[in-house]
């Protein structure tokens, strides 16, 4: 059985039922998600489940071309973990602890985008505290500078850090939300791009959130 078939079966029989029965994901503005590559799907990162949720939000037919960026030091450690991460999930492993240049580290990501893949990218670089957006690293600026026609689709995830936070392996049932923001495109302004991305991924203040939900 090929890798694409394994991935489809895993999401159809394991991931989607688990998310439906144990978590519950409310996706807002799903229509803004990409339907073809190349594309960057960029999200905040608080949980082991983040990449799986983002992949599950897309139609099954797209999964063979969806690839999350992940730490090589973590996911390539051990024969079976490495096989599962690369063959079933389809990660793009990048070195996060080495001394290579930005171009060397992100070359596999650039190559995936160049052949039309949809890449899931976490600009914080690591998992942070639940409901808090960490400092965004500027590697994504290098990527969009290299491939300026690539659309960037920001997705703000909420609640997943409480389902499976950093340092935990036992999921806790919790209703979660995913807000798909407006598509961003490179305009040649690094500061403006990073500000727009941060605004798309930052959790709203409680009163603003209540207004959006119609509670005020």
Helix (H, G, I), strand (E, B) or coil at 212: helix
Q: Which residues pair with 70 in a beta bridge?
A: 93
- The tokens of 41 are what? 């799907």
pLDDT at 209: 43
pLDDT at 62: 95
pLDDT in tens, 106-139: 999 999 999 999 999 999 887 766 677 878 888 9
Do the Cβ atoms of 40 and 150 come closer than 8 Å?
yes
User: pTM here?
Assistant: 0.88
- Identify the DSSP state of 147: S
Q: From the centroid of its chain, how far is CA 102?
A: 20
Give start and end residues of each alpha helix (H) in the chain. 3-10, 16-18, 50-56, 72-75, 79-83, 102-114, 139-146, 160-163, 190-201, 206-212
Do the Cβ atoms of 138 and 190 come closer than 8 Å?
yes
Pairwise CA distance, residues 211 & 216, whole Å: 5
Neighbour count for residue 84 (Cβ, 10 Å): 15
pLDDT at 211: 36
- Domain locations along the chain: 3-212
The string of DSSP letters for 168-188 reads --S-----EEEEE-PPB---S
- Identify the DSSP state of 66: E
Pairwise CA distance, residues 114 & 64, whole Å: 16
Helix (H, G, I), strand (E, B) or coil at 51: helix
Let me know if 172 is exposed, middle or buried by CB neighbors in 10 A (0-12, 13-18, 19+). exposed
Low-confidence ranges of the chain (pLDDT < 70): 1, 98-99, 128-130, 163-174, 205-216
pLDDT in tens, 20-34: 877 778 899 999 999
pLDDT at 160: 80
Q: What angle do CA 174, 177, 183 make, to 5 degrees?
A: 160
Tell me if the domain spanning 3-212 has CATH number 1.10.10: no
Pairwise CA distance, residues 12 & 184, whole Å: 30
Q: Can you point out the beta strands (E) in 85-140?
A: 92-94, 118-121
């Amino acid at each position: 059985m090929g890798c694409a078939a394994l991935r489809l079966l895993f999401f159809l029989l394991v991931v989607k039922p688990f998310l439906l029965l144990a978590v519950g994901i409310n996706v807002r503005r799903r229509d803004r998600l990409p339907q073809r590559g190349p594309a960057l799907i960029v999200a905040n990162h608080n949980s082991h489940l983040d990449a799986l949720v983002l992949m599950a939000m897309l139609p099954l037919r797209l999964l063979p071309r969806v690839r999350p960026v992940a730490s090589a030091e973590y996911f390539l450690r051990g024969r079976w973990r490495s096989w599962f991460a690369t063959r079933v999930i389809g990660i793009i492993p990048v070195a996060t602890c080495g001394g290579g240049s930005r171009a060397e580290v992100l070359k596999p990501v650039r190559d995936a985008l160049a052949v039309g893949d949809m890449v899931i990218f976490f600009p914080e670089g690591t998992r942070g505290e639940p409901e808090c957006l960490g400092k965004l690293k500027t590697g994504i600026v290098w990527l969009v500078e290299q491939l300026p026609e690539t659309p960037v689709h920001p997705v703000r995830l909420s609640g997943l850090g409480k389902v499976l936070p950093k340092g935990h392996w036992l999921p806790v049932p919790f209703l979660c939300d995913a807000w798909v923001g407006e598509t961003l495109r490179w305009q040649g302004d690094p500061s403006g791009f990073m500000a727009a991305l941060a605004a798309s991924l930052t959790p709203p203040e409680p009163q603003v959130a209540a207004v959006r939900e119609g509670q005020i």
